[in-house]
Amino acid sequence: MMKRWLSMGTSLSDLFAAGFRNRQPKPSEDPVPHGNRDLAPPPDASPQLPLTTFTGTVVRHGTRFALLEATGILYALDSVGRAWSFEGEEVWVRGRLNPEVGLLHIEEIEPQAA
């Protein structure tokens, strides 16, 4: 009985070792030599959004700031640090609008001339 257990244990360890050896890649399977790889950056998943100018009033919207246009459309602003000093003021914002989430990425923000 003891011999059966020992032979079975040896057979199982050989089986696992053979399976592990089969999973390791062989050097001949690599189609491109390691020294000649040109690593290109991954393609940009989102296309560049167009730069647009918006006008309106900077208002608080929860814990963030938003641009409220005269038409009533509200755009969340991505930069609290750039918008907080204009709270309650009429401004023009040059930025990129992400229409999927309604977020306006600020490139420039300035008060409107009176």
Annotate 5-41 with DSSP letters as a single string.
HHHHHHHHHHHHHHHHHHHSPPGGG-SS-GGG---PP
The three-class DSSP label of residue 107 is strand
Predicted structure pTM score: 0.57
Q: Which CATH number is 51-111 given?
A: 2.40.50
- Residue-wise pLDDT tens for the chain (114 aa)? 555 554 555 555 554 555 555 555 555 554 444 444 444 444 544 458 889 999 999 999 888 999 999 999 999 999 888 999 999 999 999 999 998 888 999 999 999 976
Strands 64-68 and 90-98: unpaired
- Domain residue spans in the chain? 51-111
